[in-house]
Chain A
């Protein structure tokens, strides 16, 4: 069982002090025009340089390096000229957790977390005979004889069952894509910025019914980097530190390939265990959170996460998100950069950048007024994880 005394010592002891990202919208057009001039490491390097500049630290200050899942650690270090004293590899949320653990325990003091992905120009497939991720998640490839493939189809099954159980309608589901698009309109770096109406959402073609085009994330090239260090050092730096206040994790593996925890439980067991840990460690509850970023490879992640993390009762997420409640000016702003649906699909990494900008009050037109606490939630394949960030001094 997690040890809450030890976790309490980790709370607020590590901060994010620098963020960098690449030019998603520009690069999306370049990829479409076959004018790409970078590979995954090229995007990673640009994001890293921007993160260093944002933090005001030199490359020689970096003593820990975490490579995102699409990069090889050695090559990343070679490209960036970093020979770290500590290194790891992980997806967005695990990279942050590993960095927090390493800094808190003294393995390193200033860690760069670096992600780069040229999935669009490289033609990464998320379904079919060459579906990405099948070596890690058997369900992604196991049902090919029946034509069952792609993560979107797995979420379509969940959505269909949810609709049958709770009476959710397509128009209602469309609120998620529409709310995130309204945020994206206020983000110059978002790929999809044109307004999206209910009629346009419903006119979007089905990919795997009941999910339509606008329920699916983008597939684009880009990179993200973050610099993390001790809270003490962060307080001596120029920008307002963003503290890692709580972390929680719960991996649901039992029955994963049969889809049992997905279809019967909507991963709520993992959500609840993670929520209990992250809220306890951060010393806050859902009512204290000013904005939430949810890993949204598909719109419906938002519904299941809201219910599982206690923002609303099970079966009521459809009502919760209605009437713009999760959009600009709503009672719980979600995916305020536009998320994976409208800003960029950086596999959870761009969500961290947005949280840092919001808590530093650097988010411009889409700034959530007075934001102090922000929560990140991901539940990819039932590996539920969450981080609560706090603006220093809150």
Chain B
């Protein structure tokens, strides 16, 4: 396990290099940074001196080298809007995003696991039909629409939850439901179909033949075998939430990374965009690594060569 971990961490290095190159290239794809930074009426002299100051006249590989050396030191340049180190601005927002991601995942999991197992064990019953219908609906609803509807109903009309922002426990409820609903829907369907298959397995019959209670047969013997796909989808969705809660964070004015990223893109604050993309990429890599470690803890047949 220890050797495996070291090897996995080493494997991350080339991945990060590739990501760093893409992030670097983003600046060029977005257009000439100098023309974005200077007002339109700037003279050619001013443009030239800024280009020189930013090192944009150097050959591309030199620029990339400088960029990598800076990035290794956690320096993605300064945000021109905040006039501060970009990475530290992004990292300030990371805890809020993580908080929302974790609460959303908990919400999705506590709904999806019992519901998925329940509808699998009562296949084709009314409960199953309702659960299946609800998960199709949950998956089909766009985030922004659900978020706005929740605000309209529960904040504006019924005034149970605050409309937006972050602060009390009540603030996180609506954005977490908004993000968690689609995930819960997908997980429910995944658990249902896996459990239906697993409940047909011979070892489930063996557990029943021991005289074990149905609940123990279901949760201990069957559901444990369903955990690999569940962990996979949880890891995928969590990295999705860290990087992709853009719309929801904007709708609820949640002060996370997603909101920052949207604002930075609109303002063409490339240093912030680069730092954001980099942090998100690292988060995705870490989530995958975590999932791999959990697989090994669940299933002894999985070996790391």
Same assembly: no
By a beta-carbon cutoff of 8 Å, the part of chain A in contact with chain B is: none
By a beta-carbon cutoff of 8 Å, the part of chain B in contact with chain A is: none
